[in-house]
């Protein structure tokens, strides 16, 4: 099976300047996700999509292919789907047609060695069309609704034991998305058709979006390395 990994990593970032190349856990942020993809036994091809020469250099030095993204697909309003479509269409011109796309975000640098392959296997076993990774959220859940909060999975007037609450939620953690190319083509979205969720360790579900996330991720990385 032809399984393609795409890692979008543009040069611009509002929250953190040069985010994809900041040093974290003794390496550029992008490096960790590239290595996770390289450690997969199921992925056949890895492509970094970028508009930035320094990012392209890091990716090439890491041993993966780079497809340079045009400026019109690299601004603040460009979506990840724009980058994904650009890579797929570029490779199609080279007669490379993947059967599955694994979309990894560099802002989620901590994964178990088996997460990517296990996620791929789950999608195949469930005969699903797309998959997202997330963390399971237990407990008493509330939803903000304008100027009030509303309980989502229990009645506060007859409060159950926490372990007896049957309904739980899965929050996307942005780490792994997998989909059939036809899903992106049909919906212009990474998720569609039959969707399944791959549950990850909550410690691995943090993302780097703001400068304050960097020292937190360093600490989480140290904890995970010691496990």
Instruction: Write out the catalytic residue numbers.
Output: 159
DSSP letters spanning 120-168: HHHHHHTT-SEEEEEEEE-S--EEEETTEEEESSS-GGGPPPGGG----
From residue 207, alpha-carbon distances to 16, 83, 88, 217 in Å are 13, 20, 26, 8
Q: What number of CA atoms fall less than 13 Å from residue 227's CA on the CB side? A: 13
Q: What angle do CA 180, 82, 61 make, to 5 degrees?
A: 85
CA angle 188, 105, 103 (to 5 degrees): 45
Cα separation, 32 vs 55, in Å, equals: 13
Residues 6 or more apart from 27 whose CB is under 8 A from it?
none
Does residue 216 sit in helix, strand or coil?
helix
Taking the C-alpha atoms of residue 204 and residue 6, their distance in angstroms, rounded to an integer, is: 20
Helices (DSSP H) in 52-114: which residue ranges? 53-61, 80-92
* 8 Å CB contact between 32 and 110: yes
């Amino acid at each position: 099976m032809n399984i393609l990994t795409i890692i979008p990593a543009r040069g611009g970032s509002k929250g953190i300047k040069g985010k994809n190349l900041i040093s974290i856990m003794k390496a550029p942020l992008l490096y960790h996700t590239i290595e996770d993809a390289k450690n997969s036994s199921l992925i056949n091809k890895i492509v970094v999509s970028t508009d930035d020469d320094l990012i392209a250099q890091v990716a090439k030095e890491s041993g993966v292919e780079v497809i340079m993204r045009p400026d019109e697909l690299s601004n603040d309003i460009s979506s990840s789907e724009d980058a994904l479509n650009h890579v797929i269409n570029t490779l199609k011109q080279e007669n490379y047609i993947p059967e599955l796309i694994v979309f990894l975000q560099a802002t989620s640098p901590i994964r178990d060695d088996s997460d990517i392959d296990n996620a791929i296997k789950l999608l195949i076993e469930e005969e699903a069309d797309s998959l997202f990774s997330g963390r399971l959220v237990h407990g008493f859940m509330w939803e903000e609704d304008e100027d009030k909060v509303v309980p989502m999975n229990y009645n506060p007037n007859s409060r159950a034991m926490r372990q007896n609450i049957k309904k739980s939620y899965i929050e996307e953690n942005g780490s792994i998305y997998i989909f059939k190319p036809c899903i992106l083509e049909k919906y212009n979205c990474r998720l569609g058709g039959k969707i399944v969720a791959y549950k990850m360790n909550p410690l691995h579900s943090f993302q780097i979006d703001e400068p304050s996330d960097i020292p937190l991720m360093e600490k989480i990385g140290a904890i995970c390395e010691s496990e």
